[in-house]
Chains A and B, each alone.
Chain A
Amino acid sequence: MSHPNLSRRGFLVGAGTLGVVSALGGCATSTPAPSAAGSGAKSATLLLKSRETGEKSRKAMQALLDEFARQHPQYKPTLNSMEAAAFQQQIRADLTLSTPPDVLTWFAGEIASNFAQQGLLLDATSVFPADGYSDQFAGLSSDASGKKIFIPTNYYWWGVFYRKSYFEKWGVSEPKTWDEFIALCKTLKGKGVSPLALPLSDSAWLTASWFDYLNLRVNGATFHRALLAGQESYTDPRVAKVLDVWREVLPYLDPAGKGLAFQEGSAKWQQGKDAMFLCGPFLADAMPADVKADVSFFQFPIIDPAVPVAEEAPLDGFIASARSADPEGAKAFLGYAATPAAQELYLKISEGTLIPANGNAKSPLSTPLIEKGRAMVASAADVTQFFNRDSNDDQLSALTTALVKFIDKPGEAAGILKQWQSDSAKARGN
C-alpha cells in the first residue's frame, strides 16, 4: 500500500510547482487577515476556501465569517477565495493535503459522495439541524451510511424562462403539458419568433438541462440516477425514447444557437428574438432591473402524468476536511452555516437569485420569481442536482458530444447512443 502512496506524493511534489503559481493567485484574491501564527491568545485559526469570487458573494462570505467570529471569539477564521475552475481542479489535492483548508465551499451530488466514500470529509452529523431541511435536502447531505457530510446553504432551480411582456404581446400563455408546449412553439414560429434559445458555442453543457428534464419527465428520477451511475445503459430503449421526444422540439430551436456564446444567446432572449430559454435564474442575474422584473418561468412541461414530478435544484453549501487540524472549529462553523440567520445574511449581501436551503430561512430579497421557484421545488416529489453534479465532468463531456451531434443529425440517434455508452463506460474506466 505504501508504494502507490509514495509515488503519488512524488507526483504531488512535481504538481506542487504548478500549485505554487495557483497558490499565489489564491493569495492575490484572499482577504487580508491578521497573521494567525503566534498572535498570542488561544484563538484557533480556521481556513475557509471558497470558489465564490464575485465581488458581492465574496463580501457576503466574509460577512459570514465575521459574524461567526463574533459569536465564537475563540476562532479566527480566514477566507481564501479562488476562481471556480481552479478551485474545482485543486479540491482533490486540497482534501488530501496533510494540512488542508478546514472548510470548503462545495455542492451536493456524486463528487461529494465520492469524497465521503474515500473518507476525506468530516462527519458533521452532530451539527446538522434536526429541523429545517427537507427530507430530500437532508438525504442529499448524507453519505451512504447516513452520516451528514455536507451542509446545504442555498439552491436555485431550472425552468423555461420567458419575458412576461413579450408573452402578452404575442398573446400566448404558459403551457402545462408537452402537447401544449409543442403547440406554443408552433404558434410562436408562425408569428415569426424563434421559440427556443439554446446557445452552444461556449456552453454545450446546456444540452444536459434538456436531457435531464426529458429523462426525468419520461422515465423518472430513479431511472435517471441509475443511468448516471452507470447501472443502466445509454443504449436502453428508454433513452432512445427521450431522444424521440426531444426530436419533436428540435425544429423550434434557434438554428443560430450553435454559433452563439451564452452571453449572445441570453442577449437575444432578452431582446425577445428567442422566446424561451430552459435555464436557471442566473440567466437574468446581470440584466437591468426592469428586465428582471419582467422575467418569469414555467415548470418544464409534464410529458407522462404517471411519472412522479422531479425538479432540478442544484444545492450549494459547505464541506469540511476529515484532516482538519481543528475538527471542532470546522464543525462549529458548519453548524453556524446551517442556521437560517447565517443563510439569510449571506443571501442579503450576495444578492443572487438563490433560495436559502434551510426551510426556516426567508429569502431576504424576496421576489415573485424566487417564491415561484421555491414553491415549485417544494412541491416536487423528487429533486436532482444537474447532470454533472449527479455524475461528473467526464460524463458531462460524453453527454455534450452525443447531444450536440444529435441536434445536428437527429436521424443518427441509434449510432449516437451507442457511441455515448462507449464514451461513458471508457470515462468510468470499464
Chain B
Amino acid sequence: MTAVPKAVSRGARGAGARTASRETAVLLAFVLVPFTLEMFWTFWPALNSVYISLTRWDGISPPVFVGLDNYLRMWSDETFRTALRNTVVWLVLFGGLSVLGGLGLALLLDKPRRGVGIYRAIFFLPVVFSMVVSALVWRMIYQPDGVVNGLLGAVGLESQARIWLGEPETALYALILPALWRQIGYIMVLFLAGLKTVDPLLHEAAKTDGATAFERFRHITLPQLRPVSTVVLAVTVIDALRSFDIVWALTKGGPYHSSELLSTYQFSTGVLGSQLGYGSALAVVIFALTAGTIVVYLVRSLRTEEAA
C-alpha cells in the first residue's frame, strides 16, 4: 500500500512521461499476451512435434532418440512415395483446375445480368455444406449401383461402368472431382471480389483504342487481379496440401494406399496408429512443403512488384 503514493508522486512530476510509459506497457501487453498464448497453443506443440519426429515413440514408453531415422525411412517407404506423388497430382489438378474454373466462372458471372445472383449462389452452394455431408452424397453417386454407373448404363456404356472408389486406377480422380466441385465456388467468390476493384474506365479507354476482349483481359484484368491472385494462390496451396476430409470420408486413402495423400498417411500412422515419431516426421514434411511453396511465390511476387 505504501508504494502507491510514491508512484503517484513520481508520475505527477511528469505527466507526459507517464502517458508514454503506459502506452508502452499497453503496447507490450498487446504483443506479449497474444504471443504467449500463441506460444503455448501453437508454437510449443509444433516445436515439440519437430522433436518427436526425431524419436521413435509409441506414446506409452519413453521416446527413443533416433536422429534423422524417420526421415531416412521415408525414402524407402513406398506408401510415402505414393502419398507424395498423389499430393503433387492433387496440388496440380485440384489447384490448377479450381483456379482456372473459379476465374472462368467469375468472369462469366461478373457482369450484372438478370438472375446472375442465382447462378453465383448455385456455384457457391457446395462451399456451405460440410465436406463430410457432401461425401455422403458423392458416395451414393459413386456406388457400384450408383448414379454414375446408372447413367453410363442408360447411354449404353455399361462396359465403362466401374467401382470408382474401389479401384486404384480411378479412386484418386474420383476424389478430386467432389473437392473441385466445392473449391471452384470458393475461388469464384474471391475472384469476383477482385474483379470489382478493376477500374471500368481502363476498359472503356482500351475499347476506344480498339483493344479486343482478349487483349483487355490479358493487359487490364489480369494485372489488376494480382493482389487477389496472391491470396488465391496461398489459399489454394494450403487447401490442396491439407485436403483430408473428402479422402478420409470416402476411401481413407485406400484401396491399398492408391488414393493416399500425405495428410491421410500422416493421420493413419501418427494419430490412429502408435508411431508418433514417424507420424510427426510426416507432419513436418507437410509443413515444409506448404510453407516452402508459399514463401517461394511470395518472394517472387514481391520482387516483380519492386521491379515494376
Contacts and interface: CB of A to CB of B under 8 A. Distances in A.
B254 A404 contact: yes
Contacts of A89: 271-272
Nearest to A93: B59
7 contacts: A17-B45, A201-B251, A261-B139, A392-B274, A404-B254, A405-B255, A426-B73
Interface of B: 40-41, 44-45, 48, 51-52, 56, 58-63, 73, 77-79, 139, 142-145, 163-168, 250-252, 254-257, 268-269, 271-275
Contacts of A260: 143-144
Contacts of B164: 259
Interface in A3-30: 4-5, 7-8, 10-11, 13-15, 17
B142 A259 contact: yes
Interface stretch (A114-122, A169-177, A374-382): A114-122
Given A393-B272, A401-B257, A405-B255, A258 B60 contact: no
Contacts of B77: 426
A294 interface: no
B63 A7 contact: yes
B256 A258 contact: no
Contact of B144 (A96, A120, A256): A256
A209 interface: no
A84 to B, nearest CB: 12
A96 B63 CA distance: 14
Contacts of A118: 60-61
A264 interface: yes
A202 interface: yes
A401 B51 contact: no
Nearest to A428: B275
Contacts of A204: 252, 254-255
Contacts, number: 104
A14 B276 CA distance: 14
Contacts of A17: 40-41, 45
A427 interface: yes
Which size class do A's interface residues fall under?
35 or more
B162 to A, nearest CB: 9
A408 interface: yes
Nearest to A204: B254
B119 to A, nearest CB: 34
A259 B143 contact: yes
Contacts of B252: 202, 204
A138 B298 CA distance: 64
A235 interface: no
A401 B83 CA distance: 14
A93 B274 CA distance: 12
A392 B197 CA distance: 57
Interface string A90-119: 001101100000000000000000110010
Given A259-B164, A394-B274, A8 B62 contact: yes
A358 to B, nearest CB: 30
Given A256-B144, A256-B163, A392-B274, 4 more contacts: A201-B165, A256-B145, A400-B254, A423-B79
Contacts of A5: 62
Contact of A92 (B56, B59, B254): B59
A92 B45 contact: no
A61 to B, nearest CB: 25
Contacts of A392: 273-274
A118 B59 CA distance: 12
Given A260-B143, A261-B139, A393-B274, A401 B256 contact: yes
A200 interface: yes
